[in-house]
Structure 1
Amino acid sequence: MTTLLELEDVTAFYGPVQVLDGVSLAVPEGGAVGILGANGAGKTTTLRAISGTVRAGGRIRFDGKDIRGMRPDLVAGVGIAHVPEGRGTLGSLTVRENLRIGAYRRKDRKGVEADIEYCLELFPNLKERYRSHGSALSGGEQQMLAVARAVMAKPRLMLLDEASLGLAPSTAKNVYDAIARLRRESGISMLVVEQNANLAFRLVDTATVLETGRNALTGTSAELKGMDEIRRAYLGG
């Protein structure tokens, strides 16, 4: 399987504090890879290093091209959509306007309209709230809108940061069910940061566990679920 994204010995700092210390991972074309770890392990920083919102060292290659150090807008332009922790929806704009902003780079008007309809089918709650402002949505609906807005950019790779954070279990399951469907139907590759490993393992093929900014374990979902330390730390077992 062709590698779409490759990180090799990636480092990152916030001021004098080193957060990533040689992180390496790969996401295949059409694949889904998880990043697990405790708070402060470097999960979010890894996504930020890819999307260009934090300065990074090492190598970050996307479709064979070096993207380390690129501005975030240029990273988005090569086909990477980042759904950040905290959702980042534009509260003063309606659902419709948020979706259209996701497609601001696109020139295919008919394709944009078709993708809006697809997103509303994928997330029926958004169809019901289509004219509502982002600030009026529930937390779950805001998360759905954040994912849908990323879909509108027609990315090749989606970076998902804690999509279940702050959501009721049933809502989180609905969000992940829709993301799994999106993966099946679109072929978008995904790099998924998630505290809820039970949800993550339903979506991803492989995962990497980070500890203090370094790779600690890497394996398939089945392999990691079978490890006692993983069950105790992330699966409540």
Structure 2
Amino acid sequence: MTLLELTDVTASYGPVRVLEGVSLSVPEGGAVGILGANGAGKTTTLRAISGTVRTGGRITFDGRNIRGSRPDKVASLGIAHVPEGRGTLAQLSVRENLRVGAYLRKDRKAIATDLDYCLDLFPQLKDRINSRAAALSGGEQQMLAVGRAFMAKPRLLLLDEASLGLAPSTAKAVYAAIRRLRQESGIAMLVVEQNANLAFTLVDTATVLETGRNVLTGSADELKGMDEIRRAYLGG
């Protein structure tokens, strides 16, 4: 079953058109990657879904047209966005950040259970539970951002450059936790990632954007086997 579908989506910042007609779909429980050079429109695609940029075309989530919906409405439908730069609440503690993620929920016992799950998923956060987010390392902040998004109990996670600025070992640890989260929760994921090697450990399929358009779509295995993909994104 298709959970999210974009059809000929355009997006603009003022007079500047960034997306020229992007189409993609994410199945229920699936993980799809978006690859492309800087300026290709990857981050803007996620922003179009979450309602933070002016868009055209059609965006449907669980059969409902959400194009043009306010970000709070999109979030309430079950879409959580982990933006580039993480966006943690710097002056709040780790515990408070995680609880902020659950602000729309009323199920207190389930919230407590999910908070414990986050701390099991990211043991580093358990040791820093009362620390302010501003005092965390970059890797810990990324873990906190993912954990806070999970606390919203989403059906779809939009993940933007989770490895950006992280040491390779830290990035691998973050992605290992995200893979576990996907396996255990069944949350669907749409993943923008500059490190294609990491992305391919998580996603089933991927699409390549160039200047705001899809130019190539295929399974992770198919794309990894293409010479042009290896040269451009895999260092081969």
Give the TM interval when normalised to the shorter protein.
Answer: over 0.9
Secondary structure at 1:202 match in 2: coil
- The 4+ residue runs of structure 1 with deviation greater than 4 A are none
Q: State the SS of the aligned residue for 1:160.
A: strand
In the alignment, residue 39 of structure 2 is paired with which amino acid?
G
Corresponding letter in the other structure for 1:110: K
Q: How many correspondences in the alignment?
A: 236
- AA aligned to 2:67 is R
> Which amino acid in 2 is paired with 1:11?
T
Q: TM-score, normalised by structure 2?
A: 1.00
Instruction: Give SS of 2:25's match.
Output: strand
Give identity over the alignment, percent.
81
> What do the CA deviations read for 1:176-226 (whole angstroms, capped 9, x no partner)?
000000000000000000000000000000000000000010000000000
Aligned AA for 1:10?
A: V
**Structure 1 counterpart of 2:65:** 66
| CA positional deviation for 1:16 | 1.1
Aligned-pair Cα RMSD in Å: 0.3
What is the distance in 2 between the residues matched to 1:174 and 1:161? 16
Amino acid at match of 2:49: I
Letter in 1 for 2:222: E
Match of 2:128 in 1: 129
SS of equivalent residue, structure 2 residue 29: coil
Counterpart Cα distance in 1 of 2:56 and 2:153: 28
Q: How does 1:1-237 map to 2 (within 5 A)?
A: 2-237=1-236
* Alpha-carbon distance in structure 1 between the residues aligned to 2:182 and 2:95: 23
1:164 counterpart letter in structure 2: S
What TM-score results when the alignment is normalised by the length of structure 1? 0.99
Separation in 1, partners of 2:71, 2:133 = 23
Residue 55 of structure 1: how far off its partner (Å): 1.0
Listed one character per residue, the Cα deviations across residues 152-193 of structure 1 (whole Å, up to 9, x for unaligned) are: 000000000000000000000000000000000000000000
- Deviation at residue 42 of structure 1 after TM alignment: 0.1
**Counterpart of 2:24 in 1: which secondary structure?**
strand
Q: Deviations over 1:1-22 (max 9, x none)?
A: x000000000001111110000
User: Structure 2 unaligned runs (5+)?
Assistant: none
- CA deviations 1:131-167 (Å, max 9, x no partner) are 0000000000000000000000000000000000000
Letter paired with 1:225: K
Q: Write the letter of the residue equivalent to 2:66.
A: I
Q: Which amino acid aligns with 1:79?
A: G
Q: Deviations 1:92-149 (Å, cap 9, x if unpaired)?
A: 0000000000000000000000000000000000000000000000000000000000
Q: Residue type of the partner of 2:135?
A: A
Between the aligned partners of 1:196 and 1:211, the Cα distance in structure 2 is 17
| Partner AA of 1:76 in structure 2 | A
Deviations 1:64-106 (A, max 9, x none): 0000000000000000000000000001000000000000000
Unaligned runs of 5+ in 1: none
